[in-house]
Structure 1
């Protein structure tokens, strides 16, 4: 194994481990040792099951090993690793038999963030279900909310159900946008442009009613009369202390706002709020599944999907495509000198700088360790080299870290595809050529861009 391969193996963003076919550990990388707190000599020669909790040990011995021997590989098995500190570490385990070496290779992914999001999602669903059981109308609307995929879906369902449930002339669902302003997402606001009833009532924590003769909000009362409305109610939408928006119901006649009305509005509001939260959690989970958890850029899976789409688009439109393979120069020395925590800060900073160096429509991703890829659709050789030079320049800037200043650089390999002159290539081939060009840049002195030969 080369020095570079050894560094990648030890500092990979997942745990790597090899065992004999009987499950005895023969090798383990630094990442897994760091996660578990073990020293390498403590694990070498020990059974893999030593790392697992009791349930995981039973599953591994009675099921996992059998599947490995029958199928040759087992993917994304959820297990729990026990650290030396006695803590539980949820992981996803991929394993495959290496027949040539008579070994089993394991890739172990830290699933702590995923498990936490899933727990939050389950909690939000459970609360929503408990609210739905109280009132029949909530049970009916729960079905509609259950298929909602976006905030807009939830808001539209909420506005329609509220209009029917409360016999309102109009309903409006307004959600807070990124600037903290209320924006109409569903329904209709008959007072739009005439008076701003919502901003005056947006901070209410309870259902608030305003009539057409209200003395506390005279401007709102006047606007109600002008629109031949008798009342409006404002229902705050919030979940776990987070304010999401409001529901406003507009009534043509004076309604009997009794305890049942307020209870039902609050229950329906809770249901809608929890559903919005659930939809957003699901969206975050989807983003998490396709993005690097440390840097926030695309992960290997999303990069491959995007590259395949970009290649198909290039073929369809006869547009060129550029692939940049980037590697931080001497990154191991940064980790050795400043520590892995600082190394992670450097990775995050470089990811931000790469996004700064590319164009708005380009995609930056991390495929592992200190290796990044940039996909640049519609980019010929001249434009691609200009992007690469811009990346080199922005990456040379010193990086301030807690214990000093780091000066680093990147080496860039560039592969190009022009559907008008080149034969059809796969995304994998473009990546391989860009990777090889990056190593040429390393050998030529680093901190430079090298273009792959076609």
Structure 2
């Protein structure tokens, strides 16, 4: 009897339809209910409404089919209104001719707190992992993009040139590199200040990016120089692309007074695999840079196209 009364868990007996016939002191102590107040009442009445639903739709059904249930998580309502998380084991047995349900109730407060803390720790870990992932993506982006303009930087340009050269070499399709240097930027930077000069570079970069197509990668090469890598573009197509970017560079800028204007001298280096050996990325940039200087010497604000192994063709 003492073992029943002072067992380390709550013990109850009920009829098959859930009416409490016996309860121990441990259950009374945990819940604050006296045996006089709950004996003869339904066990389900001691549960919260959600727990009642689980008890009636799961426990009762499984108990009737298998004769036992194990570690069902429920919530009991204590006499003072508190809610007590519990785990319930129940088994059907016979006491002489009468059939009884023996119920063991375990206080799951510590387990619930542990699971809650575990869940919070897992969420914190996931959030921390997400923050680290975002930071890594930001660092990777910053490593490959110019901080002022958001365009690809020289590292990404080199990477992209290597990719496009390898692809052109495999496919036999041409490519062009457009080298663009701003005309009129130095007076703006010198007279109006470097802060305004940075605004001009950012605005020009945004304008250039706005007319770039999916096959064209726009990069800031340094200072007021920009490079566009163009897939599947021979010399003629490269000239058309260069004119598109030259026209965009001449668009009036909101960041400077109307007395100042910016244009672009543009050089194009085009390579067709069928017409010559594969150049290196540095060779393409050098040829495009030299073509850009030819445009400056010819009067600025124009395009010069050079086919690798060919001759310069100053444009308008």
Tell me the TM-score normalized by structure 1: 0.43
Equivalent residue for 1:352? 206
Larger radius of gyration: 2
- Residues 384-443 of structure 1, C-alpha deviations (whole Å, 9 max, x = no match): 222111111222111112x63442111110010000112221111111110000011111
1:53-452 correspondence runs (5 A): 213=50, 254=73, 258-401=112-255, 404-405=257-258, 406-452=260-306
- 1:330 and 1:407 mapped to 2: Cα distance? 6
Higher relative contact order (CA 8 A, sep 6+): 2
* Maintained 8 Å contact 1:358/1:387: no
CA 1:422–1:267 in structure 2 vs 1: closer, same or farther (change >3 Å)? same
Paired residues, what number?
A: 211
* Maintained 8 Å contact 1:388/1:412: yes
* Maintained 8 Å contact 1:322/1:375: yes
- 2:149 and 2:178 mapped to 1: Cα distance? 18
Give the drift of 1:378: 1.0
Equivalent residue for 2:18? none
Which aligned segments of 4 or more residues in structure 1 are displaced greater than 6 angstroms? none
- 1:283 and 1:356 mapped to 2: Cα distance? 24
- 1:416 and 1:212 mapped to 2: Cα distance? 77
- 1:284 and 1:212 mapped to 2: Cα distance? 49
Give the drift of 1:338: 1.4
5+ residue gaps, structure 2:
1-47, 59-71, 75-84, 86-108, 311-316
Q: CA RMSD in A?
A: 2.7
CA 1:212–1:449 in structure 2 vs 1: closer, same or farther (change >3 Å)? farther
- 2:73 and 2:175 mapped to 1: Cα distance? 64
Q: Does the residue aligned with 1:367 lie in a helix, a strand or coil?
A: strand
- 2:49 and 2:171 mapped to 1: Cα distance? 61
* Maintained 8 Å contact 1:298/1:365: yes
- Residues 187-242 of structure 1, C-alpha deviations (whole Å, 9 max, x = no match): xxxxxxxxxxxxxxxxxxxxxxxx9959xxxxxx9xx9xxx99xxxxxxxxxxxxx
* Maintained 8 Å contact 1:295/1:347: yes
- 1:392 and 1:293 mapped to 2: Cα distance? 23
5+ residue gaps, structure 1:
1-210, 215-220, 230-252
- 1:398 and 1:381 mapped to 2: Cα distance? 28
